Structure 1
Amino acid sequence: MYTKPKIIAIAAVSGGGKTTITSRLNQELNNSRAIYFDDYDVEGPEDIIDWVERGADCNEWSLEPIITDVNNLINSSDVSYILLDYPFSRLHHDLKTIDLTVFIDTPLDIAMGRRLLRDFRIANTEVIMDELSNYLSRGRIGYESMLKTTRPNSDVVVDRALHIDEIIKIIIYEIDNRIES
C-alpha cells in the first residue's frame, strides 16, 4: 500500500547548519532522501539585498528543478521521508505541501564564522575582509530578514547551540508527534 512521503524542510541562515542537520537526519530516518538547495541552479533575484529590502518575497525564486525532484520522490514507492535543506520554510507558493518545517536558530556570528570557514578557506585576507565588510554594511540584513520571516513560519525552532545528537532527537520527536500520529 502506497503512503505519500512526509516532507520535512530544514531552514537556517547561510552557515546555520541546514546541510549538516539534513545529512545527519537522512542517516537516522529509514527510507529517506535528501534534497539540498545548494545543489540546484535555481533562478532568483540578482541583487539579494535589494530583494530583502523589497520584502524578500520567496515566490520570486523559480524552484522548478527542486519541485520536479520533490514530485518524483513523492511518486516513488520506496521513500518515506523527503528532507529539504531549504531556506524558505513554507513561504514559497510551490512548496506548501511541506509536512513539517524546522528552523535551526543559529547565532549570526556563528553562522558567519562557519560561512567564512566553508566558503573562503583558500581566500586571501583581502577577500575575507571584503566579505566581512559587505556583511556588516549590507549582508546582515539578509540574515536578519530570515529571522523575521522564515523562523516565525516554521513549525519547530531548534537552538543550534545544542549538540547535533540532541537536535536530531528533537526533530525525530517532532516528526513522530506532529506528522506520524
Structure 2
Amino acid sequence: MKKHILPAIKLTTLCIVLLAVIYPALIFAMAQLSPNHGRGKTVESGNKTYYSNIGQSFTVDQYFSSRPSAVDYNSAGSGGSNKAPSNKEYLDQVQARIDTLMIKNQGLVKSQIPADLVTASGSGLDPNFSVQAAKVQAKRIAKVRNLDESKVDMLIDENIEKPFLGMFGPEKINVLQLNIALDQLAKK
C-alpha cells in the first residue's frame, strides 16, 4: 500500500503544480502579449465600448438583426438550447422567428431566409452571420434609413470577412461592425 500511495501523492502534486499554476500562468502571459492584453476585441462607437467577438441583440428595424441567442446574449452563461431539431417547442420558436422576419422584411420569401437568422448558434453568442443573412435584410434597412439599396449592398460587401487562409470556413459578417458602419454611412 505504501508503495502505491507515495507515487500517487507525487503525481497529484505534480499535476496540481503543472495544471493549476504553470499552465494558467503561461496562458495569462501569452494573453498579455496579444492585442488589448487578453481582454477581448473591443470596438468604440458613440462613447460606448462593445465587444465585437460576443453576439449582441439588435431588434430595432434600422439595424441588421443578429443571429438569435438561446441565452439572451448573456456571456456569463453561453450555451445552445439543447433541443432536438424535431422538438415541437423548438420548431414553434423557429417558426415564430421566421414569421417575425417575414413581417419585418416585406417581400421576403421563406425559401430565401438563411438558417442562421432563425436558429441560435451552439454558444448562443455568435457575433457573425452569413452574407445571405445580411443581403435579405438590405431592402428593409435601405427603406427605414432612407438610403439607396445599392449603398447598403456595397456596405455589406465591404464588411465581408473572408475564410481563414481563403479556404477554412465560410465568408461571414460581424453584425456589430456592420451596424456601426451603417451608422457612419447614415451620418454622411
Larger radius of gyration: 2
TM-score, normalised to structure 1, is: 0.21
Of structures 1 and 2, the one scoring higher in RCO (CA 8 A, sep 6+) is 1
TM-score, normalised to structure 2, is: 0.21
More strand by share: 1
